[in-house]
Structure formats: C-alpha cells, structure tokens
Amino acid sequence: MEKEKIEYGKGYLNGKTGRGPFWIDKGAGKPNIFLITMDMVPPRFYLGEHRGIDTPNMDSLGNDSIFFSNAFASAPLWGPSRASYLTGRYSYITGNSERSHDGHLTELRNSDTIWPEYLKAAGYYTRHVGKSHVGTEIFTRVFGENDTPWHRWSPPWYDDEYYLEFLHRMGLQKYSFKKEIKGVSWSGVGLGNNYGGWLADQNGRPFPEDGTYPAFLVDRAISIISNRPDSESPLYFQLDFFGPHQPFAIPGGWEERERQIRESMVPPKSWSRWAERGYGEIKDQPRVYNLYRKNWGLRDREVLVDYMVANQLQFELMDRMVGKFIDFLKAENLYDESLIILTADHGEMNGEWGCIDKGAYLNPQVLRVPVIIKLPRNSNHPKINGLERRSSFTFEEPCSLLDIAPTILDTVGVEIPNRLDGFCLLDTAPGEKRPSDKPIMFDVWNHVVPNPSVGIVFRSSDGRFYMFSYNTTDYIDELYDLSPGASLNNLYGNPEYQAVYEEALRELNRCLSQDERWDVYRGYFQLEMAEKLKLPSKDMQKFV
C-alpha cells in the first residue's frame, strides 16, 4: 500500500541504480546507535548467580537496559552467526572458511545487504572496529574504505600494523607468554591445541592491560569517534571484540583476582561424570560430541581449571574495556540518548561434558547469547516511550540475534520489504506474541567435522520452552529444557518427555515446510520421520 508522502520518504541504498528501496519515517528520531559484540561467551558468565563473575561495567549497563535472558544465535559459529544477524536473515553461510569444502560460501556476497547499510542511506555516519569474519568487501562498502575488518577466526596480534604501531607507542613489543594452556593430542600423548594463557613481562614490568588487543580496539574506536569529520550526523558505530574467545591473553596485575577465582573454580558436574567414566564415549550423546572430545576434550583437571580461570579473566578484562568505552560515551554526552546493544555471536562449552569452545552441534550451551539493550532516553518513538527504559528488567521469552535488525530499523523509522526473519524486540519486550512465520531456528553444517544439523526453540503444551535439534548424520537427536536452572541434559529418549519430543517433531516439520530455504533439511527429515509424523505417501522427487 502506498505510504503517505507527508510522513514517509522513499530512499534507496543506491539512488543511481535504484537498489534497495525503503521507506523512512521523516518524523522518527535518529539516535546514535552503538553495537558492541563479543565472541564466544559461556552462559554461566551472565545467567544465574554469575558464580562470582566480576563485571561491574556490564552490570551497570544492564541496570539501564532490558536484558533478554533467553536469546539465541542462529548458528554456533562465528561466520554463519555474524552473516545471519548482519543481514537479518537465516544465512546460506553454514560453516567457517578455515575448513570449508571448495565451493562452500563462507563470505557474504557483494550483492547481499547488511542492515547498517540502511542506516548509512538514512543519513548515519557508519563506522566499525574489530572482527568481520564475513568478508571485508561488504564492510568497506558500508563502513568506509578506511575500515580494517579482519576476516579470520584468530586475532591479528602479530600482523595488525595498527596494533603493532599502538604497542610501539607504548614502548611494548609483540606478545609472548610466560604460561600457556595446552591440550593433549588425540592419542593422549604429546601436546595438542594451544589456548593462549598469561602474557610475559616486558621491560621488567608486567604486561599492562592497556596494551592488550581489546584495549587497542577501544582506543581506536575512541579515536575514530572523536575525530569523525561529521559530528552533526547521527552515528552508528560497531565495535566487534574478539574476546573472551581463546586463545587467551591475560595481562599482568591480575594475580590477586586470579587467586580469588581459582579458590572457587571447579569443573562442571558433567565433566566430573565424564571423568568418572574414564574419559570415554558418552553413549547417550550424538557421535559428534565424542569426536570433539577426542580433539578438544580437556581430560586433565588442572588444565581444564586453567582454561576456565583464564576464560573468566579474559571476560572480566572485556568488562573493563566495555567500561572504558561506555565511560567515553558518557563523557562525550553520547550515552543517554543513544541506543546501545551488547551481545555475543555464540556461546562456549566451558568444560561441559568435557568439551570447550564450540562446534558443529546444536545445544543451549553454544547457542545461548547475552542480549542487553539500552534504549535512548527522550525518544519520540511510541514503542520506546511505552517501555520502562529508566529501570532495568529481564525478559524471559525466547528471542534471536535475528531480532536485532528489525529492532534497530524500527527505532530509526526505516521500513523495508518483509525480507527480515527476526521480530522487533520493541514488540517482544511488552509481551507481543512472536509471529508463527518468524520461528527461532538454527543450523550448522561443518566446523572441525561435518555434522549437518537443524533445530528450533518452541513452547510445548506443558508451558515450557524447549530446544530440539535434529542431527541428520546420527540416530540420536537432542531435546533440552530451557527453563531457568535446568541442567544441560539431553532429554531425547527419556520416556517422561516422549510427548514433548513428538511435539518437537511436528513443530520442526511445520517450520521446515513453510520456508523453501529449509528444503535441504526438510526432505531428509520427513523421510526419516515419516512414520512418526504420520505423513501421507507422496512423490518426493519434486517434479515441476
């Protein structure tokens, strides 16, 4: 339907070619927007009682924000997750570039659109610092030719010329380690993966936290914002940290905090059960977990504790860097009237079941993400004014990282054709029901090993939310209770949850059947589950 021209204006991502038409509400406010992302955050760092996690800056931000405690990524890997939430659509990218097959797409196509591009077309000054991992071409198009997004999983500690110059100005040299965390190879003999560790002293002094790579990213972000040539235009800034992803790089001066953490650090109960079984296969799990434990399983208790301690220290270092950035925004009077979103691209096993990192599998531990949204004050947006933005509250209804795109575009009054898969969090928070055609789904194809899997979050007839994951290459699927405090136990095969499992099958079939993008899983799923779903006989060849 034609929009009233008095209230709406029509825009294009490229006015000359007519690419990317959209409508914009001319009366909508344009708050500054800051997206802060972290990489691979374990749920225990932000859910429950925090287990002694010291994050005063994120907590302070949370006190001004809405916290979505049941948020999920659309994939458990960097590239697929970032490609998905930046386009606002379930992505065709299903694996990372390091181990992909020839022909598997691992970068966004130049013809794709990421939602910051709409902000730029609407008059925003758009800039970015940090990780990309979805390709550099689209980032330089959106964030300017001076953007230096790095497109790989590991941080560019040793070859980022800007960082090396930063270290030189501080009188420092490249990182080296005084203590490293090293796993054991698949054979049980010899060293395996290196997970970083504690940084060696330099110039006879502890390596300073202000010289770490996260500190450099904040320093660069502050410099770009402070020196932007157009301070009158609204600002969109995206700060993509690497941490607390391993390899860790713990600076000096944290010895007392480390001692405190070690005193209370214990491996997860699931790790202890695995250890009691002799570190062998866990029969009730899909085979993929046993393969990951063979490569990344930390069997030595002392090494696992080192890993968990370093992971927490890295996260607390991230909190200080987030705090430094937020303090800058406050000092520049950019905080109160800005929309600020803090999130992560995926989760971390953190020792559960003997696994660390993440992988080509789907469970709440690797798919949960924190989502904190601080709304702008003094906004003329009716949805924002209708929320309790001056005092924090927690929203427990499940949501997705895909919801970030429609939330930001709604905030600035941008309407585009209904091509986004998410649901505006400004509607979710007050309690509006999520549309049935915008389900929370996720999938993965390959990482260290290939394991095509697809899953959903759904509400069962018992009133609880569950996660169901269908593993196409295994006879064991996964079903998890998402209730607060629920353990990470696979309920698949548990007779007490048979009715929930049957509901999961029907709901996944519905979701796969309503969107042709999921046909790659739908045919396989329906063929295997035909009897359980009571499907009618039909021609499965898809003749035209």
Cβ neighbours of residue 275 under 8 Å, at least 6 residues apart?
A: 267, 299, 301, 354
- What is the Cα–Cα distance from 184 to 177, expressed in whole angstroms? 19
- Where is 452: in which H helix or E strand? strand 450-459
User: Residue 354 — pLDDT band, cuts 50, 70, 90?
Assistant: very high
Q: What is the DSSP letter of 158?
A: T
Mean pLDDT in residue range 505-533: 96
**Which residues pair with residue 127 across a beta bridge?**
237
Q: Is the dihedral of CA 394, 398, 403, 404 positive or negative?
A: positive
Report DSSP state, residue 14. E
Q: Are 239 and 343 in contact (CB under 8 A)?
A: no
Amino acid at 407: T
With cut-offs at 50, 70 and 90, classify the pLDDT of residue 388.
low
Q: pLDDT tens for residues 404-460?
A: 999 999 999 998 877 899 999 999 888 889 999 999 999 999 998 899 999 999 999
Which residues, other chains included, contact 475 with Cβ-Cβ below 8 Å and sequence gap of 6+?
Answer: none
Q: What is the mean pLDDT of residues 145-159?
A: 90
Contact 406, 424 (CB under 8 A): yes
Task: Please tell me the predicted confidence (pLDDT) of residue 7.
Answer: 66
Q: Is it the case that residue 3 has pLDDT exceeding 50?
A: no
Distance CA 120, CA 469 (A): 37
Instruction: Judge contact between 508 and 521, C-beta under 8 A.
Output: no
Whole-number pLDDT of residue 389: 56
HEC profile of 153-173:
CCCCCCCCHHHHHHHHHCCCC
All residues at 6 or more sequence positions from 357 whose CB lies less than 8 Å from its CB, including other chains: 40, 246, 296, 348, 349
Largest Cα–Cα separation, the chain: 76
Lowest mean pLDDT among 233-247, 334-348, 529-543: 529-543
Query: How far is the C-alpha of 106 from the C-alpha of 393, rounded, in Å?
Result: 37
User: pLDDT class for 155, splitting at 50, 70, 90?
Assistant: confident
Across the range 470-497, mean pLDDT stands at 95
Q: What is the mean pLDDT of the chain?
A: 93
List the domain boundaries for the chain. 29-439
Alpha-carbon span 38 to 375, nearest angstrom = 20
CATH topology classification for 29-439: Alkaline Phosphatase, subunit A (3.40.720)
Residue-wise pLDDT for 322-343, tens only, equals 999 999 999 999 999 999 999 9
Compute the distance between CA of residue 456 and CA of residue 74 in angstroms, rounded to an integer.
10
Q: What is the DSSP string of 276-342?
A: HTTS---TTS-HHHHHHHHHH----HHHHHHHHHHHHHHHHHHHHHHHHHHHHHHHTT-STTSEEEE
**DSSP-assigned beta bridge partners for residue 453:** 444, 471
pLDDT at 309 over 60: yes
- pLDDT digits 0-9 by tens, 49-63: 666 899 999 999 999
Number of Cβ within 10 Å of residue 19's Cβ equals 13
Give the contacts of 543 (CB within 8 A, at least 6 positions apart). Answer: none
Contact 469, 457 (CB under 8 A): no
- pLDDT value, residue 1: 39
Give the Cβ contact number of residue 298 at 10 Å. 27
C-alpha to C-alpha distance for 525 and 441, rounded to whole angstroms: 15
Q: Measured between alpha carbons, how far is 323 from 215 in angstroms, rounded to an integer?
A: 11
- Supply the DSSP string of 16-50, one letter for each residue: TTTEEEEEEETTS----EEEEEEE---GGGTSTTG
- Secondary structure (DSSP) of 415-449: E--S---S--HHHHTTTPPPPTTS-EEEEEEESSS
Q: Is the dihedral of CA 225, 402, 318, 391 positive or negative?
A: positive
Tell which residue, 269, 245, 487, 277, has the closest CA to residue 363: 487
By percentage, how much of the chain surpasses pLDDT 70? Answer: 97
Q: Evaluate whether 172 touches 284 at the Cβ level (below 8 Å).
A: no
Query: Which residue is associated with the tokens 């548990």?
Result: 494
pLDDT at 390: 52
State how far the alpha carbon of 233 is from the alpha carbons of 3, 365, 368, in Å: 26, 40, 35
Rounded to two decimals, the pTM is: 0.96
Residue 4 has pLDDT above 90, yes or no: no
What pLDDT is stored for residue 50 in this prediction? 60
